[in-house]
Amino acid sequence: QGSSGIMVMPRADALRVAIKTYETDGINIGHRYYDFPYPEGFDISKFFNLKFVDDGEKVEIYLNNEKVSTITMSDPGTYDEELVFEEENYTYFKTAIIHDAEGNEMLKVENSRLNPESSQLAIGIRNKAVNIDNLAFTYEFEPTPTPDPTPTPSPTEEVKETEKPAATTALKSDDSGNSNLGIIIGIIAAGVVVCAAIIVLAVRATKKNQ
């Protein structure tokens, strides 16, 4: 099951959502969970769809395109004692809250082990017969736009005494435009890159192994 992460386990009568935890005994790993009952008429022996949407601070879990739970993660930090076989202390989200579809808090974990620096997808099966199909993994990016470079004004040409010094007015107009553009560029550059990972699974468990 790994030393950190979120587990989703389809059980006979409920969808279990579990959070890996830091414990002070043994190998420092445990987990806490909350069971969400299946909707009326749900049949685990038939194919069903699981979807996970992760934006780095919260994870949304969907069953057959209906939201089941949202997990919010916060309080990044390290634990003083770590696994003996780990070369360095990893950063974890120490607080995780499991919400239901309406946003109600169902379980708060204040010793969670959720690594914000890397992620892996794993599927584990023990003493069960299941069929897995149509596994899809998608990224959605909103990169910070790169502003167009401000053109460098060309040197002002000398004008004859009989010509009007129109260059002065033009330069004032250009300076005003560049000032406004600078404000717009500054706002755009302040945008944060958003990366959302979407994982979709289609799963079916056989009745004889429920």
Q: What is the pLDDT of residues 10-49, one digit of tens each?
A: 999 999 999 999 998 878 899 999 999 999 999 999 999 9
For residues 180 and 205, state if they share a domain.
no
The residue written with tokens 């808090």 in the block is: 105
pLDDT tens, 38-95?
Answer: 999 999 999 999 999 999 899 999 999 999 999 999 999 988 765 555 556 688 999 9
Domain count, the chain: 2
Q: Which residues of 99-125 are buried (b: 16+ CB within 10 A; e: fewer)?
A: beeeeeeebebebbbbbeeeeeeeeee
Mean of pLDDT over the chain: 77
Domain that includes residue 181, residue range: 146-192
Overall average pLDDT of the 100-108 stretch: 98
For residues 124 and 36, state if they share a domain.
yes
For residues 27 and 129, state if they share a domain.
yes
For residues 51 and 128, state if they share a domain.
yes
For residues 52 and 115, state if they share a domain.
yes
Q: Indicate whether 1 belongs to any domain.
A: no
Going by pLDDT thresholds of 50, 70 and 90, the confidence category of residue 201 is low
For residues 43 and 85, state if they share a domain.
yes
pLDDT tens, 143-187?
Answer: 777 777 777 766 665 545 555 544 444 434 344 333 333 222 222
For residues 34 and 56, state if they share a domain.
yes
For residues 37 and 120, state if they share a domain.
yes
Contact present, 116 and 140 (Cβ < 8 Å): no
Q: Tokens standing for 174?
A: 């250009």
Q: Indicate whether 79 belongs to any domain.
A: yes
For residues 124 and 172, state if they share a domain.
no
Instruction: Write the CB contacts of 69 (distance below 8 Å, at least 6 apart in sequence).
Output: 17, 34, 36, 60, 61, 98, 99, 100, 101, 106
For residues 73 and 160, state if they share a domain.
no
pLDDT (0 to 100) of residue 152: 72
Q: Indicate whether 34 belongs to any domain.
A: yes
